[in-house]
Amino acid sequence: MFVTVNLTRPANEASTMEAMAGASMSSSARLRPYPRLRRIGNVTVAAVRRRCRRHAITCAAAADADVVALFDAAKLTVDRFVESGMVVGLGSGPASGLAIQYLGTRLRRGYLTGILGIPSSTISASEAEKAGIQVGSYEESTQIDFAFTDADIIEEDTLAAVIGRRKTESGEPSFMEEKGIVKSAGKLAFIIGHDKYVKGVEGSIPVLVKSANWIDTAEEIDDLFLGDAEVWRRPSFGTAGPLGGDFPLVTKEGHHVLDVVFTTPIPDLAKVAESLEKIAGVVDHGIVSSIPSYVVVALNGEVQVLDEKSSVIP
């Protein structure tokens, strides 16, 4: 069951987002005038320019609306779940970045105090420091009260998630530490746009494998999902063939990352995770399942909150 929350941002909190929207609109609408009227077939250049300008403005407005919706979801996540004195896991991704910025604003204004942030990547650590959030390092023994993060995709009904599809600026995949943080959290929330909440999950699932005999591991995964998925080794930069090219991604632990790309909808993410964990050589994967969580969804100017029991959040 979805809980719909209508959010009205005070002018001072929304000013930054409105300024972003205004800047985007004005920049996309600026077009150099033509010195004279010309024709393309039976259509004048001026008419084409008007159509292009309307299209550009519409696209810019849609993009700005998406950012504002994600900001609303990030804001609600912080307001609903974060309390003073908490240790908070700081996720990675656009929505998490907005939540980190808003959390910093709440701290500076004195609405929250004593927050310790545990970043899941170098990028989220940098964002937290810029926002004025005290940060600590993650260890397996770290007690985390609440964590938020983006998800690449969320499976309807089960709320199983896939993380780790995105490539970071450093090239180092962050999903291993990110997954450790969300598994250690007493409470977890994924912040997503509505297009990431789907019934049939497709696309890639990152799988961390030992570098020794990684080809044997890849072939076993390929046999497991024969006809349903392709297995590619992730390159350190750019794109490459199935073997990852001349510069495959190697983690600081010396592991490789395989992208298992499903070409047909996955009926059950939890079963895929269970199957992967039985394969020798698999260290971890990007599926987060069987962990109680909330999903905060940005949709059409509203924020919808779903819990793992499909019931109303108290």
Axis-axis angle for helices 94-108, 122-130 (nearest 10): 30
* H/E run at residue 231: strand 229-233
The pLDDT confidence band at residue 226, using thresholds 50, 70 and 90, is confident
Check residue 311 and give its pLDDT.
35
Per-residue pLDDT of 107-141, as tens digits, reads 999 999 999 999 998 899 999 999 999 999 998 78
Q: Do domains 1-29+36-199+290-314 and 201-288 have the same CATH topology?
A: no
145 phi/psi in degrees, rounded to 5: -75, -40
The pLDDT confidence band at residue 102, using thresholds 50, 70 and 90, is very high
Residue 207 has pLDDT above 50, yes or no: yes
The pLDDT confidence band at residue 48, using thresholds 50, 70 and 90, is very low
Check residue 308 and give its pLDDT.
64
Share of residues in the chain with pLDDT > 70 (%) = 75
Per-residue pLDDT of 6-40, as tens digits, reads 444 444 444 444 434 443 333 333 333 434 434 44
Check residue 173 and give its pLDDT.
58
Check residue 249 and give its pLDDT.
87
Residue 218 has pLDDT above 50, yes or no: yes
Per-residue pLDDT of 270-309, as tens digits, reads 999 999 999 999 999 999 998 889 999 987 778 999 986 5
- Tokens 């010309």 locate to 38
CB-CB contact of 251 with 208 (8 Å): yes
Burial class (CB in 10 A: 0-12, 13-18, 19+), 48: middle
Residue 203 has pLDDT above 60, yes or no: yes
Could you give the CA distance from residue 207 to residue 273 in angstroms, rounded to a whole number? 10
Check residue 252 and give its pLDDT.
82
Check residue 18 and give its pLDDT.
43
The pLDDT confidence band at residue 174, using thresholds 50, 70 and 90, is low
Could you give the CA distance from residue 96 to residue 103 in angstroms, rounded to a whole number? 10
The matching CATH number, chosen from 3.40.50.620, 1.10.150.120, 3.20.20.80, 3.40.50.1360, for 1-29+36-199+290-314 is 3.40.50.1360
Amino acid at 212: A
Could you give the CA distance from residue 71 to residue 27 in angstroms, rounded to a whole number? 22
Per-residue pLDDT of 234-264, as tens digits, reads 988 877 888 888 888 888 888 999 999 998 9
Check residue 170 and give its pLDDT.
52
Q: Which is more confident, 81 or 33?
A: 81
Which of 26-40, 142-156, 226-240 is modeled with the greatest confidence?
Answer: 142-156
Q: CATH class for domain 201-288?
A: alpha beta
Residue 142 has pLDDT above 50, yes or no: yes
**Max Cα–Cα distance, the chain, nearest Å:** 71
Check residue 168 and give its pLDDT.
55
If you average pLDDT over every residue of the chain, what do you get?
80
CB-CB contact of 30 with 49 (8 Å): no
Domain boundaries of the chain, sorted by first residue: 1-29+36-199+290-314, 201-288
Beta strand 294-299 with 282-285 is unpaired
In 91-219, beta strands by DSSP E: 116-119, 134-135, 144-150, 153-155, 161-162, 185-193, 197-198, 201-210
Check residue 65 and give its pLDDT.
59
Q: Length of the chain in residues, anyone?
A: 314
Check residue 280 and give its pLDDT.
94
